[in-house]
Structure 1
Amino acid sequence: MEGLDFSVLIPYMPLLLQGAWWTVVITVLAGLLSFGGGVVFAVLLLYAPWFVKVPVAGFMWLFMGTPLLLQLFLIYFGLVQIGIDIPALWAGIIGLGLHYAVYNADILRAGIASIDKGQSEGSRSIGFGRFQTLRYIVVPQAVRVTLPPIASNMIALLKESSLVSIIGIAELVNAAQLGISSTFRPFEFYIAVAVLYYLLNLVLEGAIALVERRVETTR
């Protein structure tokens, strides 16, 4: 029985590290889109007129009810058939970002609804408009309340970024597959990828903990 030989990884470490870098880029950009999109969707669901609210709710229902992998296929392979050609990298970022935006929206909607209405009424009494009230009073407090579940979604987003390898993006899993195709040593490469994902996860958890501490100091 042939044993493990991690020396086969050495020539491929630059490729794996490059894949890890693209995993970070995709996670950061998709995470920003998921948070910003979540805020927008939540506000529209709560305050927009019905002819805006209904399509937004339908869009969220569609993204919650279908697998992320299918959504990536539809964005990358499907939209090109109607003349919308999105590069693979941006298709992956948009797919991941929108997928988690709808879940963040559901969380933020509950957070916004939990804010005491007296605060909105008080801000309106001192001259704030609805947009200013949402921007400076309601949404920041809702984010503080919902930060833990949103942070959990960000960690899940990091892990599921591996799915973008299926549309040819050279992230961590894709880089490992390239190495495996040359060496036929899958176990060593997948162990290396697992270690790199674990390290990235530790960094993300540390960044989230730092954000949570800073948010606590602003209460």
Structure 2
Amino acid sequence: MDFSFDVILRNMPYLLAGARWTLVLSLTGISLSVVLGVFICAARISAKGLLRRAAAVYISAFRGIPLLVQLLLFYYLLPEIGLDLPALAAAILAIGMCSAAYVAEILRGALQSIPAGQTEAAEALGIPPVALWRRILVPQALRLGLPSLVNELILLVKVSSLASVVGIGELTRVAQNITGQTYRPLEIYLAAAAVYFVINFTLSQLGRMAERRLRLD
């Protein structure tokens, strides 16, 4: 089979359209995971044993079950309990909740590197716990954990391909559909791989720029 760049050029607009949904899944998923991760992290290091145990169970469960199984569970289980969400919403929820377990651990590690004196000083000044987290702890944890959070976002871009199993037209699903029509898997999957590389390379460079900027501030 002769390699044809023309096949790639003709189908690149469709692959880029699929890449848009890949980005939607990934960026929305990481946003949800950061929000949930903050609360799970707070519970994980809470003085209350019940909260610590609940957070530990959450983290163990979502880290121990493959994301593909979680996607299928969310897609098929939610309608059974009265939550008939669109496939895209179910996939974002599954990806976000799974990633939140990893983000919580990233933030916990970052928080442990913050000097305890800051918390003690805030408590001595009478700063409420919510303000302590919102103004002091979370901003520093996000800053310290930024490299790991960028890596988590890049990972989400790659694992978002699993959403194809519930019918979402992201990049991998589009590549599969085009391959079924053109019978040119080599060209199409190489093009899809190139698009994934460009997305992740761009995200990694943006992450490095953000790190350098934060170091200068």
TM tier relative to shorter chain: over 0.9
Aligned pairs for 1:93-132 within 5 A: 93-132=92-131
How far is 1:200 from its partner? 0.5
Corresponding position: 1:177 with 2:173: no
C-alpha separation in 2, matches of 1:85 and 1:216: 45
* Aligned amino acid, residue 118 of structure 1: G
Q: Equivalent residue for 1:153?
A: 152
Cα distance, 1:77 vs. partner? 1.4
Report the counterpart of residue 67 of structure 2 in structure 1.
Answer: 68
Matched residue, 2:29: 30
Counterpart residue type for residue 44 of structure 2: L
Q: Which range moved further: 128-137 or 190-199? A: 128-137
Q: Distance in 2 between the 1:7 and 1:103 partners?
A: 42
63-72 vs 73-82, which deviates more? 73-82
TM-score by length of 1: 0.92
Q: CA deviation at 1:48?
A: 6.2
What is the root-mean-square deviation in Å for CA atoms of aligned residues?
1.6
CA distance in 1, matches of 2:144, 2:40: 17
Deviation readout 1:3-52 (Å, 9 max, x if unpaired) = 12232234433221110111111111111112222111101211263333
Q: Which secondary structure does the structure 2 equivalent of 1:47 belong to?
A: coil
- The corresponding residue for 2:51 is 52
Alpha-carbon distance between aligned partners in 1 of 2:25 and 2:165, rounded to the nearest angstrom: 14
Structure 1 residues 152-175: Cα deviation after superposition (integer angstroms, max 9, x where no partner): 111111111111111110110111
C-alpha separation in 2, matches of 1:11 and 1:138:
50
Letter in 2 for 1:61: S
Alignment deviations for residues 92-145 of structure 1 (CA, whole Å, 9 cap, x no partner):
111111111101111211221232221111122223111111111122222222
Q: Which amino acid aligns with 1:116?
A: P
Worse-superposed segment, 122-131 or 187-196: 122-131
Give the corresponding residue for 2:11: 12
Q: How does 1:72-87 map to 2 (within 5 A)?
A: 72-87=71-86
Say if 2:188 is the partner of 1:195: no
2:150–2:203 Cα contact (<8 Å) kept: no
- Residue 25 of structure 1 aligns to which amino acid in structure 2? V
Give the residue type in structure 1 aligned to 2:115: D
> Does residue 186 of structure 2 align to residue 217 of structure 1?
no
Report what 2:167 is aligned to. Answer: 168
Aligned residues: 217
- Unmatched 5+ residue regions in structure 2? none
SS of equivalent residue, structure 2 residue 83? coil
1:143 corresponding residue in structure 2: 142
Residue 210 of structure 1, CA deviation: 2.1
Percent identical pairs in the alignment equals 38
Equivalent residue, structure 2, for 1:133 = 132
More deviation in 52-61 or 156-165? 52-61
Whether the aligned pair in 1 keeps the contact of 2:30 and 2:153 (CA below 8 Å) is yes
Question: CA–CA distance in 2 between the matches of 1:214 and 1:145?
Answer: 13
